[in-house]
Amino acid sequence: MSGPRTELARLAEELVELRRLTGLSLGALAGRTSASKSAWHRYLAGHNLPPCETVVELCDLAGVPPARLMALWEVAETECSGREKRGASPGRGADVPETHRAAERAADEDADRAPAPAVTRTAGTRRASEAPEPAGPTTVTGPRPGEGPGRPRSWRRLARRWWPVGASVLLSAAVLAAVPLLREPAEPAPAPPGCRGTACDGEDSESQGCTEPGASFGAVAQARFPGGARMEIRHSEHCDALWARVWLGQVGDRIELRVPGRPTRHAVIRDRHDAEGYVYTRMTGGDPSKAQACLLPAEGGPEQCFRA
């Protein structure tokens, strides 16, 4: 990838790294997101800009906060749309020098201040339309129609000059008043979980609402094994329960979650589809600090364990 789309290439490199973290093939990635296999091929190659929702989906699969990737996406979207290269629109003053515009504004102000068009005089002549010059100062004895008592006749000129300022102040006040309405609504509180503590023994974490948006959950321990497999012990405060998950393992690998006083929970990587994604154990209650997770390799050999 070369040329002007350097930000799109940078975003594609980050997406490739996220896809590597998930361990998913393009087909498996398509099965877990809203984008097709061919679309993912174009996104990862840097040929097309993915929708922002698709980037967030990949971040969720990789277990990575989406804030940094969304910032890269914004920069790439600006570059691809060409907004940063657009100038002023033709016909709207784009090519008029600033000095010309200043002269026009000065002329407008002079026109406001002038009470009447200037008259050129020639000795011995007077135009029929020209009013005779007053012999002395003129005193206004009464208001003109539309003017209130004591109001100077220049109020119209003042109104024309200052109404843009008043309009700007009112517009600014309206924008400031609308700012609270534009803020994103707070994330709603999660619904009550389907189980808690030991009542979650043998239950699925997702179906019981332990991983829904707003629920506090995450890894309390993580391990990377020599063969490339990675495991986590996960805990949900929402459900007060534990489970384990594995990815980048081999077909036939077995994982176990052991908590003192609770039944052992296990799961097996049954096929290539499982190996390309995540495999989870069922949940169990108990103290997270005493939990132990183990990988039993398919080819045999000693089990590989770690603690929270």
Task: Give the pLDDT mean for 82-87.
Answer: 59
Given a cut of 50, is residue 277 above it in pLDDT? Answer: yes
Rounded to an integer, the average pLDDT of 8-17 is: 92
**Predicted confidence band at 255 (pLDDT cuts at 50, 70, 90)?**
very high
Report residue 243 as tokens: 């489970």
Read off the pLDDT of residues 145-203 as tens digits, 9 standing for 90 and up: 444 444 444 555 655 666 666 666 677 666 666 555 555 555 567 788 889 999 999 99
> Would you say residue 72 lies in a domain?
yes
Residues 6 or more apart from 236 whose CB is under 8 A from it?
193, 205, 210, 211, 215, 216, 217, 242
Alpha helices of the chain — where are they, by DSSP H? 6-22, 26-32, 37-45, 52-62, 67-81, 98-113, 155-182, 272-276
- Among 25, 51, 83, the domain-final residue is 83
Q: Which two tokens stand for residue 270?
A: 């049954």
32 belongs to a structural domain: yes
Which amino acid does the sequence have at 184? E
Query: What angle, rounded to 10 degrees, do the helices at 6-22 and 52-62 form?
Result: 30
CA distance 37 to 26: 5
- Give domain status of residue 105, yes or no: no
* Residue 266, domain extent: 197-307
pLDDT band at 84; cut points 50, 70, 90:
low
In total, how many domains does the chain have? 2
- Give residue 216's pLDDT: 83
Please provide the distance, in angstroms rounded to a whole number, between the alpha carbons at the two ends of the chain: 44
Give domain status of residue 142, yes or no. no
CATH of the domain at 33: 1.10.260.40
Whether pLDDT at 101 is above 60: no
- Domain assignment present for residue 101? The answer is no
The answer to whether residue 246 is domain-embedded is yes
Give the HSE-up count for residue 253: Cα atoms under 13 Å, Cβ half-sphere. Answer: 28
Confidence band for 86, pLDDT divided at 50, 70 and 90: low
Residue 241: is its pLDDT beyond 50?
yes
Query: Of 46, 62, 83, at which residue does a domain stop?
Result: 83
pTM of the shown model: 0.43
Residue 24 has pLDDT above 70, yes or no: yes
**Residue at 137 is within a domain:** no
> Does residue 150 fall inside a structural domain?
no
**pLDDT-based confidence at residue 13 (cuts at 50, 70, 90):** very high
Domain boundary among 51, 83, 115: 83
